[in-house]
Amino acid sequence: MKEKMFTLSLTEEERAILAAVLEEYIPELRMEVADTDSGDLRETLKHEEAVLKKILTALKSGA
C-alpha cells in the first residue's frame, strides 16, 4: 500500500510547541509500552513511538 504524503505548514512557534509536546509525550509512551501485557498493543505502541520520533526529528530539522 502506497502511503499518501501530507504537508502541514507551521509557524516557528507552532513547530517549537509541537516539538516540546512530543518530547514530553514520547517518554510517557515508552513507559506505556513497558507496562503493556498485550503483545499486539505493545507492537502498536512501538510503531506509534517510531512514527512520532520521525515527526519530531523532522520538526527539529526544519523539514
pLDDT of residue 63: 63
CA nearest to 60, candidates 26, 12, 6: 12
| Higher-confidence position of 2 and 34 | 34
pLDDT of residue 1: 63
What are the φ and ψ backbone dihedral angles of 34, each rounded to 5 degrees? -65, -30
pLDDT (tens digit per residue) in 12-24 = 999 999 999 999 9
Is residue 55 predicted with pLDDT exceeding 70? Answer: yes
pLDDT of residue 26: 96
Q: Model-level pTM?
A: 0.82
